[in-house]
Amino acid sequence: MQKKPTSAYVHIPFCTQICYYCDFSKVFIKNQPVDSYLEHLLQEFHSYDIQKLRTLYIGGGTPTALSAPQLEVLLDGLTKNLDLSVLEELTIEANPGDLDEDKIAVLKNSAVNRVSLGVQTFDDKMLKKIGRSHLEKDIYENIDRLKLAGFDNISIDLIYALPGQTMEQVKDNVAKAITLDIPHMSLYSLILENHTVFMNRMRRGKLPLPKEELEAEMFEYIIAELERAGFEHYEISNFSKPGFESRHNLMYWDNAEYYGIGAGASGYVDGVRYKNHGPIRHYLKAVEEGSARINEEHLSQREQMEEEMFLGLRKKSGVSMARFEEKFERSFQELYGEIVKDLIQQGLIQLDGDSVRMTKRGLFLGDTVAERFILE
């Protein structure tokens, strides 16, 4: 019998403002059928008969765009049938500025034990430039309030290589992030996605982005500073104090299966990667008709092996060759021996006991290295 996934991602697509870089499934919250959406989302969640989860991640959009009573309905509905003794990590994403005392009280009275704040930058001018509505002071206020309420597992997201951003500004961001005294950070370089304000500006030649060499310098600086401050660079974009790695995100990079719940969510169950309807009305109708999914892809063994490499190489620990062979019943050496030898010569990956992992240089080139593991 196929084992059931032990992780779930839940998507709340509502936002109080639309950021210029974001291509996630989202809508402006005003005049949206939020209560009906939550009802349908919980109906989809319960259709899978989920009783045991190790990790549950509520992302967006902006989950904290919901009112305090709506958040309570969501959290109660998701956890009422769960065996909380096995739930290790329940993360909710939040926007600085959204978390008032009522919402924090709801989180405190729920099973949530990890909060991820979309900080992006500490610079008020830059926040405005990227379409964010919070200010630097909101970041400190929210983190203080969360700590007062007893949350110690707090993470922030920061973006670097933003339009017009200088090395000085990156240094300032990193210094301020370290002084927050929190155990986890995710740092992403700006990626231009289709259908975003930034991509449209770039096409019109109106987006002054830092040059690639400067971006590489920024990345190196971030790694060095955070490691000096006691953070481990455990995945390409993620840094944590010992024991505070995001268990949910490690599940993705271990290429494990998970439920994806909500409009526009993706999931991976029984060897099938699927995506749900994105537009809210379409999603509501689809749930009522018995399946929220808009497409499904049955992965071949070759595709599963490629994903194992692609995702696993993002982790500092890399890919265990023994685990690979046990999972796929294929010889790692036969499949990838020559490629590994070549990449080691180029100084992009290294062997570490039973694992294949990226070198620092390899990490910066990330996807270019991972692409070598696509089987022709």
Per-residue pLDDT of 118-142, as tens digits, reads: 999 898 888 888 778 789 999 999 9
Does the structure show a pLDDT above 80 at 190? no
CA separation for the pair 83, 12 (Å, rounded):
23
> Domain boundaries in the chain?
7-253, 319-373
Taking the C-alpha atoms of residue 165 and residue 314, their distance in angstroms, rounded to an integer, is 26
**Structure-token pair, residue 20:** 């210029």
Q: Which tens digits make up the pLDDT trace of 28-74? A: 788 899 999 999 999 999 999 999 999 999 998 899 999 999 999 99
Q: Which of 284, 265, 291, 292 is nearest to 39 (CA)?
A: 284
How far is Cα 171 from Cα 221, in angstroms, rounded to an integer? 8
- pLDDT at position 365 is 81
- Indicate the CATH number for domain 7-253: 3.80.30.20
Q: Which residue has the higher pLDDT, 30 or 83?
A: 83
Number of C-alpha atoms within 13 angstroms, CB side, residue 35?
A: 2
Token representation of residue 54: 């190790």
Q: How many alpha carbons fall within 13 Å on the CB side of residue 61?
A: 29
C-beta of residue 40 within 8 angstroms of C-beta of residue 291: no
For 288-300, how does the pLDDT look when each residue is reduced to its tens digit (9 = 90+)? 999 999 999 999 9
Position 194 pLDDT exceeds 70: no
Residues 311-370 have pLDDT tens digits of 999 999 999 999 999 999 999 999 999 999 999 999 999 999 999 999 988 887 877 888
How many residues does the structure list for the chain?
376
* pLDDT given at position 364: 79
